[in-house]
């Protein structure tokens, strides 16, 4: 047996690693002639957790085995998967806007001008959407870190990773909501040659759209929020070494998500009214 393979033990006084043939601890000088305490497996593994799942496997397990997936994410956090999720969510946001505007037809003398303006707005929205979603993720991560800490002093990277990965629930529900919206959302035509009639059509459509969002989109969003909160609660539980209960984590994620959903709803109504 080579020196590197020699059986190691923990000093009973200071816990330093010593070999079987040592008579005294090289760290504190304690005699090792009578007592030799083996290093516990947990002490060997401390800080050495190995990631169990690849990015694709994590996404799959978030849908099929969420507890196992969130434990792996909490113990081996990363920003790569979070970046992928944020980009996908930003693309879906832009796509939903594009599909929504396809339900609106502009006719009349100023149709091309208004259509060009709308296209410009969509292009600008596409460029800033990733930044907005990224900023939302950072803010939520900071709040989650401090609200779910429970004395664990967990790292921000852990909180940010579980917050980002929990967004996969929002992605799935956004796809479902987009499909529902495309098939069920009413369409309308705006005559740009008659401003008064055009504004009347917009107001009528806004009323229909508000009712549609209340009946169809809001329930889907709430289901997604509950799902996201459950994933986040699991992650906070494992990330804080189980000091934060799953219920506490779910509550914090749900309240934050509910506030975000309300802000998004109010902003959408304001933007459409303008």
Task: Give pLDDT tens digits along the chain (274 positions).
Answer: 344 445 666 777 776 777 767 777 777 777 766 554 444 443 343 456 888 899 999 999 999 999 999 999 999 999 999 999 988 888 887 787 777 777 777 777 777 777 777 778 777 766 777 778 888 899 999 999 999 998 888 999 999 999 999 999 989 988 887 787 777 777 777 777 766 776 776 677 777 666 766 777 778 888 989 999 999 999 999 999 999 999 999 999 999 988 877 766 665 554 445 4
pLDDT of residue 63: 93
pLDDT of residue 265: 62
Token look-up 């803010």 returns 139
pLDDT of residue 102: 75
Taking CA 64 as the corner, what is the angle to CA 61 and CA 70, rounded to the nearest 5 degrees?
Answer: 45
The pTM of the full predicted model, rounded to 2 decimals, is 0.71
Where do the structural domains in the chain lie, given as residue ranges?
A: 3-45, 55-273
The b-or-e profile of 31-45 (16+ CB within 10 A means b, else e) is ebeeeeeeeeeeeee
pLDDT of residue 148: 94
């Amino acid at each position: 047996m080579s020196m590197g393979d020699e059986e190691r033990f923990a000093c009973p006084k200071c816990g330093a690693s010593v070999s079987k043939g040592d008579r005294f601890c090289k760290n504190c000088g304690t005699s090792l002639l009578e007592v030799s305490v083996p290093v516990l497996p947990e002490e060997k593994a401390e800080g050495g957790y190995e990631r169990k799942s690849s990015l694709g496997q994590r996404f799959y397990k978030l849908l099929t085995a969420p507890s196992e997936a969130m434990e792996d994410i909490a113990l081996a956090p990363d920003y790569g998967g979070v970046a992928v999720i944020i980009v996908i969510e930003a693309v879906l946001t832009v796509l939903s806007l594009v599909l929504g505007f396809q339900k609106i037809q502009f006719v009349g003398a100023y149709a091309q001008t208004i259509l060009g303006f709308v296209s410009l707005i969509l292009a600008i929205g596409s460029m800033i959407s990733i930044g907005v979603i990224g900023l939302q993720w950072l803010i939520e991560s900071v709040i989650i870190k401090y609200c779910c800490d429970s004395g664990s002093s967990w790292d921000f990277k852990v909180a940010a990773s579980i917050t980002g990965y929990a967004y996969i629930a929002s992605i799935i529900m956004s796809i479902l909501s987009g499909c529902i919206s495309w098939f069920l959302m009413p369409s309308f035509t705006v005559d740009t040659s008659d401003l008064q009639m055009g504004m009347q059509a917009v107001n009528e459509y806004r009323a229909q759209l508000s009712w549609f969002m209340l009946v169809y989109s809001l329930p889907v969003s709430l289901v997604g929020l509950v799902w996201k909160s459950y994933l986040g609660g699991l992650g906070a539980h494992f990330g804080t070494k189980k000091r934060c209960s799953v219920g506490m984590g779910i509550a914090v994620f749900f309240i934050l998500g509910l506030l975000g959903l309300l802000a998004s709803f109010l902003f959408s109504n304001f933007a459409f009214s303008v």
